Amino acid sequence: MDQDPQELVRRIAAVVAHELRNPLAVINNSAYFVKAKLDGAADPKVAKHLEIIESEVARADRLIADILAYARKAEPMMETGDLDALIREAIRSYEPPSGVKLEFKPGAKDVRVKCDPRMLADALHRLLDNAAAAQGGKGKVAIATGASKDGAFVAVSDSGPGVDAKVRGALFEPFVTAKPRGLGLGLALARKLLEANGGTAVYESGPKGATFKLALPRA
């Protein structure tokens, strides 16, 4: 019997993630053990390299999590809620880089949407990560909500250099990125999560920076 290609990809991703996470856990535990044994008495260079090991292990684990999230079938648990309240809660649970300030401008007064709040927050966090990275981890990122007769949206705007025209047409495709490091799954996952909730994610160019919108139908 022929196997569903998407199911096969999910199974491969799960197996690869498991096999990669095991050695990463061993590396992380070993670094922790060495730090504990040195007990603050390590040569500064040794301490620095132990921090690099822990940082890179954490980064690799996040990349694995993104691969699994993209391969996994999105199954939302739909709820009806006030969009501005949902976005405030999502912002509250997000930790921006120390040099980035978030500014929220609610504009969807009493607008209710039907979505999975966890998925909406995850998609928003990925746009915020993208905006912060576009500005080099500093500056202000603006978040705004709005609504039309049939739909509602949350927009994330940055003051970075904007999106390179070479990748603009494939922005939400997996593994497309203009960054020197990264898999290019953040925007692809944001769109996937919104589509599972009956919405979409779009990019809007402007005179400066970039704006990404997460759009949802009204409840």
pLDDT of 67: 81
pLDDT at 9: 66
Q: What is the structure's pLDDT at 36?
A: 85
pLDDT computed for residue 182 by the predictor: 66
Instruction: Please give the pLDDT value at position 15.
Output: 78
Q: Which residue has the tokens 């501005």?
A: 84
Q: Half-sphere exposure (CA, 13 Å, Cβ side) for 57?
A: 18
Predicted TM-score (pTM) above 0.75: yes
Across the chain, which has 219 residues, the per-10-residue mean pLDDT values are 62 79 90 84 83 90 82 88 96 92 92 95 94 89 91 92 78 75 81 94 82 93
Q: Which residues make Cβ contacts (< 8 Å) with residue 94, sequence separation at least 6? A: 102, 121, 124, 125, 128
Q: How far apart are CA 157 and CA 148, in angstroms?
A: 19
Domain boundaries, the chain: 5-71, 79-217
CATH number of 79-217: 3.30.565.10
Q: State the pairing for strand pair 99-105/79-82.
A: unpaired
pLDDT of residue 108: 85
